[in-house]
């Protein structure tokens, strides 16, 4: 899921006070039939948030196992040792998807189930498990969209050479990815190399609020090591090179015979200028550049955004001519995870720059969910997630206009409830309205504006373990009883809504 900005910017809520519950978009009656033929509807997940079974069938430890078991790193002091127990309940979950009428399921493979130590001997039990999951999906007519890396780096690679900070990670990730192509590519036709590299570069190596928890800013007392001014850029660079290398191999060796496609999933808020001053408009562009542009621009033009090159200077790695050539165009599609819209302004009083020496300060933009003189916005449970349906249309049009209208899949979109009893959140009318309104705006972007979007994945089918937020956020269409050993699933009203939506 998207980064938990609320952990950093929660003070904004106090400053601005109470918020009225006014949705920006009224929506309209839409259905599957409203969308172009062949448009894909699915739900999304990740191995660490869903599977559980962390010590079963030879799985190796990951950086998130270590992080979650470190005191004070997770808000509710929980961990994902069991999570949804999807590892043992995948057949049941596949049937739930089938009953809703979903076309696809976005899942991730746990690297440490394939290579428990990150490299070396393949764990056949891991291969067998994912073969079973893939076959169960296909047997029900559900297409697997497989993410190779959703944040769960094998701990052994972190111990051996500090993981993504070392170029060796490119080679080891490539070996792991190619193993997946060989073992599963005869049936998996849609691959995603990385999920939200921006999030794990910033949250893991800049502010230290996610695994592996490295930083050197004010939160340093919570971080054992790190350099917030350099490490996020190094990690991002190695990840982009790993992505490009894997895509190159896939296209040269596997694509023709396996008839698949490959891409990457990027997270992006949409940002609007807090005022119409040129300073705030320019700051808004920088906010976008340091979020989406950081990763999409190398894929499109082969280098980082100019604003990043100008402001970060020699701390920003440089692509060689050959690397630039390989990174540019290294996708068949681009996944976009989008949840919310914030405002941006120039950091006039050096509030962020004065507190931090990191990638956020480098942008010179101050971002926040509310602005004086702007309409108030309804909020989900998470302090960062404001409901602004028009943002998804604006974001899709930005990508269309600036980057040549590449093929986009919305690989995550959704909103959360708090951790409440099922009886109090079964009637999730706000979630129903959220999806109706965001889909309405997405449909307008496609049909009226010509945006090249061909899929939409709900985050998420099931309530799950939400990283540093633990079990405190419930994004699921289905409620999961985390107090029940069997992790029983119960349908919220949004299940019925999606079933009717997809049955048209």
Please choose, from the candidates 293, 194, 301, 177, the residue with its C-alpha nearest in 3D space to the C-alpha of residue 240.
194
Which of 109, 123, 252, 126 lies closest to 191 in space, CA to CA? 109
Which residue, among 173, 87, 100, has the nearest Cα to 136 in the 3D structure? 87
Of the residues 158, 272, 412, 466, only one is catalytic, namely 412
Q: List, as one string, the DSSP characters of 121-170.
A: S--HHHHHHHHHHHHHHHHTT-EEEEEEESS--BHHHHHHH-GGGSTHHH
Is 279 assigned a catalytic role?
Answer: no
Query: Which two three-digit tokens encode residue 17?
Result: 């006070």
Residue in this structure with the two tokens 């869903």, named with its chain if needed? 50
For β-strands 104-108 and 143-149, DSSP reports them as parallel
Residue written as token pair 């297409």 = 143
Q: Is 297 one of the catalytic residues?
A: no
Write out the two tokens for 385. 């997630």
How many Cα atoms within 13 Å fall on the side-chain side of residue 311? Answer: 23
Q: Are 254 and 247 in contact (CB under 8 A)?
A: no
If you write DSSP's letter for every residue of 78-107 in order, what string do you get? ---SSTT-HHHHHHHHHHHHHHHT--EEEE
Q: Which of 51, 183, 196, 466 is catalytic?
A: 196
Strands 417-418 and 473-474 come out as: antiparallel
Residues noted as catalytic: 196, 412
């Amino acid at each position: 899921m998207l980064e938990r900005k609320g952990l950093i910017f929660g003070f904004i809520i106090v400053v601005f006070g109470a918020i009225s519950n006014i949705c920006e978009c009224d929506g309209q009656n839409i259905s599957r039939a409203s969308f172009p033929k062949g448009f894909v509807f699915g739900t999304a997940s990740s191995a660490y948030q869903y599977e559980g079974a962390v010590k079963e069938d030879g799985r190796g430890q990951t950086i998130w196992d270590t992080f979650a078991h470190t005191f004070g790193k997770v808000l509710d002091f929980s961990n994902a040792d069991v999570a949804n127990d999807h590892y043992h309940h995948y057949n049941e979950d596949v049937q739930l998807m089938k009953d809703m009428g979903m076309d696809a399921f976005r899942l991730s493979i746990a690297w440490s189930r394939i290579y428990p130590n990150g490299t070396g001997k393949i764990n056949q039990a891991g291969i067998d498990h994912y073969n079973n999951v893939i076959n169960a999906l296909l047997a029900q007519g559900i297409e697997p969209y497989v993410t190779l890396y959703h944040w769960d780096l094998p701990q052994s690679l972190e111990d051996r050479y500090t993981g993504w900070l070392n170029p060796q990670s490119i080679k080891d990730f490539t070996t792991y990815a190619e193993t997946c192509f060989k073992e599963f590519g005869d049936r998996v036709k849609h691959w995603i190399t990385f999920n939200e590299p921006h999030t794990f570069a910033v949250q893991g190596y800049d502010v230290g609020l996610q695994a592996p928890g490295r930083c050197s800013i004010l939160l340093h007392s919570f971080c054992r090591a790190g350099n917030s001014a350099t490490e996020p850029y190094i990690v991002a660079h190695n990840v982009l090179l790993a992505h490009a290398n894997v895509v190159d191999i896939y296209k040269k060796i596997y694509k023709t015979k396996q008839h698949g496609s490959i891409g990457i999933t990027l997270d992006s808020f949409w940002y609007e200028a807090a005022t119409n001053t040129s300073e705030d408009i320019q700051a808004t562009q920088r906010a976008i550049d340091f979020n989406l542009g950081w990763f999409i621009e190398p894929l499109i033009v082969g280098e980082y955004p100019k604003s990043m090159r100008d402001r970060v200077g020699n701390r920003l790695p440089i692509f060689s001519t050959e690397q630039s050539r390989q990174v540019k165009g290294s996708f068949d599609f681009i996944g976009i995870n989008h949840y919310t819209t914030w405002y941006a302004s120039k950091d006039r009083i050096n509030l962020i720059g004065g507190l931090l020496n990191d990638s956020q300060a480098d942008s010179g933009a101050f971002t926040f969910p509310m602005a004086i003189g702007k309409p108030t916005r309804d909020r989900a449970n998470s302090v960062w997630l404001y409901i602004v349906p028009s943002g998804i249309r604006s974001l899709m049009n930005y990508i269309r206009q600036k980057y040549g209208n590449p093929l986009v899949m919305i690989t995550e979109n959704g909103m959360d409830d708090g951790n409440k009893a099922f009886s109090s959140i079964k009637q999730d009318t706000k979630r129903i309205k959220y999806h109706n309104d965001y889909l309405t705006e997405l449909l307008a972007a496609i049909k009226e504006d010509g945006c090249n979007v061909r899929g939409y994945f709900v985050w998420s089918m099931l309530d799950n373990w939400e990283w540093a937020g633990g079990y405190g956020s419930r994004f699921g269409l289905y409620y999961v009883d985390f107090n029940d050993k069997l992790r029983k699933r119960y349908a919220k009203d949004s299940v019925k809504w999606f079933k009717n939506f997809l049955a048209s």
